[in-house]
Structure 1
């Protein structure tokens, strides 16, 4: 599709961006609304799974679809992806408990994986590596804009209407995106018929799922040194070894192992994994601080979170333009990770006394860094491999980023719950039990009530006037507990981003190719360009 007229390419990109906008809006709208949803249907202990299952199914689907789309074309998969995503979104709004919500979010993830994988790969089909920087930046801006309006609208919906509409409000946009892709996107496929490596995909899933369960349960449901957790880690390691063996023998492997011999491919994807751990941690847990610690409503939380995404839109757009203009890209990733790391560290220093201005400043820093780094890592991977591996390489990039998010959200959730549990136990031991016999006060044993100011207000009304000061002290103490727990999670994110910064310094920068017809550089050419 590289030789299509420019006007036709732009038209196709509009259709792709419409599909990406639909998926991104449905993903980002949940973050701000989830504390209220959890307060209604329960399941604080399984909170992280609402995001984790989505990222898990997205990751597995994206990596398989990337390989299939190299053979059968992008169009069928993006259409099926939109359809599955629409069904998952509708069903999520019908959830009556946390378990149903997790299942339906998993279904959304299957559709989201298809949309994300084919959308970013299509950019590589349409434009040469030198031109892709601009479009990768614009695609990241679409996600950023969705992240601006999504949380704000999500907060408004749960504050004004029923939370179910968080999942239903954008369904018409999904139908429009489906029609646009159907009409505008050309269908292309290779003539060669190849086998599908379903065994590799299944074994890969069997390696990821136990790893995810281990990080989710360790320190909360089971001790880190328990037989269950150790067994899950052993299972995951064994499955990974089997996966590597299976891929080395497969005719058409889901992830060609020889790609990892390319240092640019390996460094970029490992950096993406680490960046995903920090990025998704900030997006998912910052609303808990704003609502639970600062006491803001869901709507106000959305406006505060908007600062992070707006700054991301600015730097992703400008960064993409500069990459296309200069042909340089490594410097943007390096600067981006430094800024993002500073922002995450600043988040770890937040307390109950943190002002709205302080929270916004920290979010802007994370957003600025994220916007600079986000488009680069996909571009480097696409530029480093031959065009026939474009789909699988792009999907691998998305997979590692989503996998990082899956692991990061689970670990940060585990850290938050462990610290919160220890602090709540200490607080209970030191309590004078002045409120212990009053109706409704027992609900304060669960910190999730901090996410719903209405519940706190109802409990306060039932407290005798002379005991209200003690009640207020208890609420402030609980906010302090939640703040401390979240600080631990954000500090972990800081360490992860610091590691990503060190790793990106080893990224070898090679010239951006001027045509998709170019093959991989020969070793001697690569040495000259490094």
Structure 2
């Protein structure tokens, strides 16, 4: 699609970004609205599945659609993805119980996975690698903007209107994007006649599903050493072995394993996984510090977190422009991971005396680094593989980043809980009064610190003469939570440090000025030379 006029390319990209914003906002807006939704339809014991099922279906669909779109073109999948997502959103708003909501969110996930996979790949269809930097940066800014406005908008909607509108308010965006893409997006199919690797797809799903479930449940629903978690990990290992065996013999593998022999492909995806661990860990656990340690309300906490995402939007946009202008990208990945690591380390050093300005500063540093590195890793993968593998390479990049988020949140949560448990035990042992021990047990859950109403309810049961003791315990528990979160952020720093070391070994090859590979360009030049030679002879 490089031959299209620039105006048509820009119009198509606006439609794609509208579809991405539609999907991303529907993902981020649910978080603040879910407590109200659950209060209305019930199912508190199953509310985590609203997120888990979406994550599963999105990840599975994204990795599978990548290869299929290389064969059948992007247009059918992005249109089907938008259509399925619209239907899922419409159904979510009609849910009367938690089970329906979970099923409908799963449907949304299938559509979201198609949109995510094909949207980033479409950039590669429309523009050569040298021009993709600015568009990758703009796509990253779409995620940042959805993370900024989604939670706040979700809270406003449930406070002002019925919660159903959380799922319905953006439906017009999806419909407009569908019409624009249908009319303007050309569909280019592969000329090769190939078969679909159904067996590989089934085995891949059997590998990914238990793995993501294990990391989602470990430390929360089940203990890390429980039979369920060990069984899920064991199943994934066996399924992965079978998958490798099958893919080595498949005529048209769903994930060509030879791509992993490409050091750029492998280093970029492993680095993306590690970056995802740090990114999602910061997004997930920084609110614990803001609300639990600093005592800031949930609403204000959302505004504090905006500082991270807004700084990400700025650097992803500027960084993408600079990549396109200079043709260099490795330096931006190195700088981004270094800055992000510094910000994460600064977060690990925070304590109960940290000011709001200090917390915002650290979040901005993480966001600045994230914005620089976020667009690069997808670009390096796309630039390193043949055009016929563009879809599967891009979807693999997206999957590794999202899987890294799931893994990172789980591990950092386990670290936080372990430190919290150890610190609370030492706190209880050092407490000499029985009444204080009882109070410690009542507020030892860090979640309580983020619920002022819950703390006030407990405080009302405490005799007046024990209020100083109660306040002292609250202070000590805040210190414990701060220490526990510091350990989690220190792990995030280590992970980002490993990613930085890996990026140093990333081979930087020139960004191609065309989607044609060097071999294709050479063959084309040879053909033109032969034609000219023949004409000269005649």
TM range (shorter): 0.7 to 0.9
1:526 corresponding residue in structure 2:
none
Matching of residues 308-319 of structure 1 within 5 Å: 308-319=308-319
1:528 corresponding residue in structure 2:
none
Distance 1:14 1:503 in 2: 34
Shift, 1:213, TM fit: 4.0
2:478 corresponding residue in structure 1:
479
Deviations 1:8-47 (A, max 9, x none): 1111011000001111222233456668878996869985
Shift, 1:291, TM fit: 2.2
2:79 corresponding residue in structure 1:
79
Matching of residues 54-133 of structure 1 within 5 Å: 54-89=54-89, 104-133=104-133
Distance 1:288 1:87 in 2: 34
Cα 1:220–1:188, aligned 2, differ >3 Å: closer, same or farther?
closer
2:513 corresponding residue in structure 1:
514
Deviations 1:189-230 (A, max 9, x none): 234442222222222222223333444455566655555544
Contact between 1:156 and 1:298, CA under 8 Å: does it hold in 2?
no
Superposition TM-score, scaled by structure 2 size: 0.87
Shift, 1:423, TM fit: 3.8
Distance 1:442 1:225 in 2: 25
Cα 1:225–1:152, aligned 2, differ >3 Å: closer, same or farther?
closer
Shift, 1:93, TM fit: 5.8
Contact between 1:158 and 1:298, CA under 8 Å: does it hold in 2?
no
Name which of structure 1's ranges 509-518 and 452-461 shifts more when overlaid on structure 2: 452-461
1:25 corresponding residue in structure 2:
25
Distance 1:513 1:461 in 2: 68
Distance 2:269 2:508 in 1: 15
Name which of structure 1's ranges 130-139 and 410-419 shifts more when overlaid on structure 2: 410-419
Matched, 1:340 2:332: no
Matching of residues 169-188 of structure 1 within 5 Å: 169-188=169-188
2:454 corresponding residue in structure 1:
455
Distance 1:411 1:39 in 2: 30
Contact between 2:52 and 2:216, CA under 8 Å: does it hold in 1?
no
Cα 1:520–1:414, aligned 2, differ >3 Å: closer, same or farther?
farther
Superposition TM-score, scaled by structure 1 size: 0.88
Cα 1:498–1:160, aligned 2, differ >3 Å: closer, same or farther?
farther
Shift, 1:429, TM fit: 5.2
1:331 corresponding residue in structure 2:
331
Shift, 1:252, TM fit: 1.2
Shift, 1:153, TM fit: 2.6
Q: Which has the larger radius of gyration?
A: 2
Deviations 1:437-458 (A, max 9, x none): 89xx986454323333233334
Distance 2:100 2:422 in 1: 30
Distance 1:376 1:99 in 2: 39
Q: Secondary structure at the match of 2:485?
A: helix
Matched, 1:411 2:411: yes
Cα 1:274–1:436, aligned 2, differ >3 Å: closer, same or farther?
closer
Q: Secondary structure at the match of 2:435?
A: coil
CA RMSD of aligned residues (A): 3.2
Distance 2:192 2:480 in 1: 60
Contact between 1:39 and 1:448, CA under 8 Å: does it hold in 2?
no
1:206 corresponding residue in structure 2:
206
Contact between 1:216 and 1:414, CA under 8 Å: does it hold in 2?
no
Matching of residues 436-447 of structure 1 within 5 Å: 444=443, 446-447=445-446
Shift, 1:270, TM fit: 1.1
Matching of residues 22-421 of structure 1 within 5 Å: 22-31=22-31, 51-89=51-89, 104-157=104-157, 166-218=166-218, 224-225=224-225, 227-421=227-421
Shift, 1:279, TM fit: 1.0
Gaps of 5+ in 1: 523-530
Cα 1:219–1:62, aligned 2, differ >3 Å: closer, same or farther?
closer
Shift, 1:231, TM fit: 3.7
Cα 1:236–1:188, aligned 2, differ >3 Å: closer, same or farther?
same
Distance 1:514 1:387 in 2: 13
Matching of residues 6-21 of structure 1 within 5 Å: 6-21=6-21
1:497 corresponding residue in structure 2:
496
Deviations 1:99-157 (A, max 9, x none): 77665544433222111111001011111111111111111112222222223334545
2:533 corresponding residue in structure 1:
none
Contact between 2:46 and 2:98, CA under 8 Å: does it hold in 1?
no
Q: Secondary structure at the match of 1:510?
A: coil
Deviations 1:248-303 (A, max 9, x none): 11111111111111111111111111111111111122222222322222221121
Q: Secondary structure at the match of 2:29?
A: helix
Distance 2:491 2:98 in 1: 27
Name which of structure 1's ranges 153-162 and 50-59 shifts more when overlaid on structure 2: 153-162
Distance 1:446 1:39 in 2: 22
Q: Secondary structure at the match of 1:173?
A: helix
Cα 1:395–1:213, aligned 2, differ >3 Å: closer, same or farther?
closer
Shift, 1:372, TM fit: 0.6
